[in-house]
Amino acid sequence: MTGGPRTEARGGEVDAASLEAALRAAVSGEVRFDLGSRAAYSTDASNYRQVPICVVVPRSVDDVVATVAACRAHGAPVLSRGGGTSLAGQSCNVAVVIDWSKYLQHFDLFPNDKRARVEPGVICDMVRNAANVHGLTYGPDPATHDHCTFGGMIGNNSCGAHSLMSGKTAENTEELDVLLYDGTRLRVGPTSDQDLSDTIERGGRAGEIYRRLRDVRVRYA
């Protein structure tokens, strides 16, 4: 085998050396290909073990965009990871693991509107503790609320003991800024029929996605 080390991932081989060079050139955060980091991120709170290709700890959203672009160019899968509290292996895979929990922990609280804007690495209790000062809380409270992140809670649609009162995470999420593997950025949330039609009319990648979602709704409603 020539051309440097390669890693087997679903869909084919990934040239790890070339990917590492691209990530280090594009990302200002931490890029970890060492065996210790890969071992540490190979499992979560489940009994699964999948050694990642590498770990990226982004310092900004721009780092995430650059990471996904490099992975796309090299055919490498990506996996978002928060607090690593998943019970069914959602936080480990043979992929480039993006750990949001170290740096992307900024949030804005708007107590008068009973809303918060959070980055994916924000821990549940960070917002709950800030909201408590105003007599508010965030309803979904999984058992790991002191170290699970909002990104993970959204991915898992977390609930907890108080979800009967407050609803699950999906019912407490108003809008998402989404980055797709192909580089498309979307801001998604409640969409009226008119907004849906307008988005489809404008075409492009967003129009295609919304059209296909509408088709699923029509077919299976």
3-state secondary structure of 116: strand
Does residue 109 or residue 13 have the better pLDDT? 109
Same fold, 6-99 and 107-176: no
Neighbours of 39 (CB within 10 A): 12
Q: With cut-offs at 50, 70 and 90, classify the pLDDT of residue 55.
A: very high
3-state secondary structure of 87: coil
pLDDT reported for residue 194:
96
Would you say residue 182 has pLDDT above 50?
A: yes
Domain at 6-99: CATH code: 3.30.43.10
Mean pLDDT of 160-165: 88
As to burial, measured by CB atoms within 10 angstroms (0-12 exposed, 13-18 middle, 19+ buried), residue 58 is buried
Neighbours of 141 (CB within 10 A): 21
Strands ordered across the beta sheet of 54-57: 30-32, 54-57, 96-99, 78-81
pLDDT 10s digits, 119-145: 999 999 999 999 999 999 999 999 999
Whether residue 32 contacts residue 55, with contact meaning beta carbons closer than 8 Å, is answered with yes
Mean pLDDT of 37-50: 96
pLDDT reported for residue 11:
58
The DSSP secondary structure of 163-221, one letter per residue, reads HHHH--GGGG---EEEE-TTS-EEEE----HHHHHHHHHH-HHHHHHHHHHHHHHHHH-
Q: With cut-offs at 50, 70 and 90, classify the pLDDT of residue 5.
A: low
Question: What fold does the segment set 107-176 form as a domain?
Answer: 3.30.465
Question: Residues with Cβ < 8 Å from 125, sequence gap 6 or more?
Answer: 145, 146, 147
Q: With cut-offs at 50, 70 and 90, classify the pLDDT of residue 2.
A: very low
What residue segments make up the domains of the chain, in order of their start?
6-99, 107-176, 191-220
The Cα 122–Cα 114 span in angstroms is 17
Mean pLDDT of 181-203: 95
